[in-house]
Amino acid sequence: MASTNPVAPKTGDHESEGSVQSTADMTAFVQNLLVQMQNRFQAMSEGIVAKIDEMGSKIDELEKSIIDLKAEMDAEPTVKSDPEEGKPSDESS
């Protein structure tokens, strides 16, 4: 015959309370972790978008510079140089 002590704590209730508390703690921890991850992801995303915008601006500047250089080259008169001009003449001897 097994006797039950009415003063002894019920192990089933104690374990379930601890289990509920443990589950609540784990839930809070995971939620906090997800918020931190979301914040970091948001910061990284904003940084990437900023870098892409910066690169786009630099590409626009480069294209404008190329167009300006082409315009300058087209505006200059084309001078055909005689390849013989740069050579010393043999007549100086």
Both tokens of 33, joined, read 């972790």
Token pair 């870098």: residue? 51
Say how far residue 54 (Cα) sits from the centre of its chain: 12
**Per-residue pLDDT tens over the stretch 53-69:** 999 999 999 999 999 99
Amino acid at site 31? Q
pTM of the model: 0.52
**Per-residue pLDDT tens over the stretch 67-86:** 999 999 998 876 666 556 55
Greatest Cα pair distance in the chain: 137
Taking the alpha carbons of 35, 38, 42, 47 in that order, is the dihedral positive or negative?
Answer: positive
